[in-house]
């Protein structure tokens, strides 16, 4: 039986290094997607289920630290490592504070990179299908939310969510009973806090309220000019 290839997202804006690393990792039987901008990386993460992300810190549009924050908020179980020429202690500490599982300094030996990746994946990946699935499951009142499959389930009925609906619900669930400001939501999920995106956010909040209205204990409360709070009243 063919073994499953681990899927890796390489985020590196340097043409030569990005090509070299992506081709080398493919030779080592990894399934690799290469993004040269943070914006492209976010798009790819929406489309594919990655096992690991390799992030360059110095990027032309979204720096690696900011990109890591976005990934952590929307995909808290997606591991990432930094690969960068920045080797100051403060940068290394910042990388780990953001949740990085490793911080590799350029220039990096390709064999060492592969060895590090293999060791990390062996340590991080769950050993059963059940545990792999469990990390994406959230209980919201009578609903079960699978953020990986982008599904809400209630009374054996499945509601399929769009990527943006799923991302927004995940953010609210992870911050339930706390105020989620318009600015934080828009900066993280839309990438820009402006009038039109605020209108779009309100539309998606309306969608989620409609999906969740079968359990009266669940409310997404609006705080005027501040943000939203997902509240679940326990019986």
pLDDT for 169 equals 94
pLDDT band at 130 (very low <50, low <70, confident <90, very high): very low
| Beta pairing, strands 137-140 & 143-146 | antiparallel
More confident residue, 76 or 209: 209
Residue whose entry in the numeric block shows the structure tokens 């054996």? 156
pLDDT for 85 equals 73
Mean pLDDT calculated for residue range 67-90:
77
pLDDT band at 70 (very low <50, low <70, confident <90, very high): confident
Distance, in Å, from the CA atom of 90 to the CA atom of 93, rounded to the nearest integer, reads 5
pLDDT at 2 over 50: no
Q: Mean pLDDT score of the chain, rounded to an integer? A: 83
pLDDT for 126 equals 53
Cα–Cα separations (whole angstroms), residue 1 to 4, 28, 103, 122, 129: 9, 18, 34, 20, 17
Topology given in CATH for the domain delimited by 132-232: Arc Repressor Mutant, subunit A (1.10.10)
> Can you say how many angstroms the Cα of residue 210 is from the centroid of all Cα atoms in its chain?
25
pLDDT at 98 over 60: yes
> Can you say how many angstroms the Cα of residue 97 is from the centroid of all Cα atoms in its chain?
16
> Domains of the chain: which residue ranges?
7-125, 132-232
3-state secondary structure of 230: strand
pLDDT band at 145 (very low <50, low <70, confident <90, very high): very high
DSSP-H helix ranges across 51-128: 64-74, 89-97, 110-124
13's tokens: 């804006």
pLDDT band at 38 (very low <50, low <70, confident <90, very high): confident
Lowest mean pLDDT among 85-99, 120-134, 141-155, 171-185: 120-134
Percent of the chain, pLDDT > 70? 86
Among 217, 170, 3, 143, residue whose Cα is nearest residue 70: 170
pLDDT at 3 over 60: no
More confident residue, 114 or 87: 114
Distance, in Å, from the CA atom of 36 to the CA atom of 27, rounded to the nearest integer, reads 20
pLDDT band at 89 (very low <50, low <70, confident <90, very high): low
Q: CB atoms < 10 A from the CB of 7, how many?
A: 14
pLDDT for 1 equals 36
Same topology, domains 7-125 and 132-232? Answer is no
Of the CATH numbers 3.40.50.2300, 3.90.600.10, 2.20.130.10, 3.40.50.300, which one belongs to the domain with range 7-125? 3.40.50.2300
The full DSSP string for 7-52 is: EEEEE---HHHHHHHHHHHHHTT-EEEEESSHHHHHHHHHHS--SE
3-state secondary structure of 63: coil
pLDDT band at 235 (very low <50, low <70, confident <90, very high): low
pLDDT for 136 equals 79
């Amino acid at each position: 039986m063919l073994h499953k290839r681990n899927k890796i997202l390489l985020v590196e804006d340097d043409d030569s290094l990005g090509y070299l690393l992506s081709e080398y990792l493919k030779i080592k039987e990894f399934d690799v997607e290469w993004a040269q901008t943070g914006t492209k990386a976010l798009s790819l993460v929406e489309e594919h289920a990655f096992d690991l992300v390799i992030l360059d810190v110095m990027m032309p549009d979204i720096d690696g630290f900011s990109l890591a924050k976005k990934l952590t908020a929307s995909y808290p179980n997606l591991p990432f490592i930094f690969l960068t020429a920045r080797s100051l202690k403060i940068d290394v500490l910042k990388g780990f504070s953001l949740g990085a599982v490793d911080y590799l300094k350029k220039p990096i030996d390709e064999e060492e990179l592969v060895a590090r990746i293999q060791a990390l994946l062996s340590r991080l990946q769950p050993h059963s299908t059940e545990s792999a699935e469990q990390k994406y499951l959230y209980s919201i009142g009578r609903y079960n939310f699978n953020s990986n499959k982008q599904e809400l389930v209630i009374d054996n009925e499945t509601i399929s969510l769009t990527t943006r609906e799923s991302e927004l619900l995940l953010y609210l669930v992870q911050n339930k009973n706390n105020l989620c400001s318009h600015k934080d939501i828009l900066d993280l999920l839309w990438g820009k806090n402006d009038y039109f995106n605020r209108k779009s956010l309100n539309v998606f909040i309306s969608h989620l309220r409609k999906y969740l209205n079968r359990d009266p204990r669940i409310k997404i409360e609006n705080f005027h000019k501040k943000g939203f709070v997902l509240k679940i009243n326990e019986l």
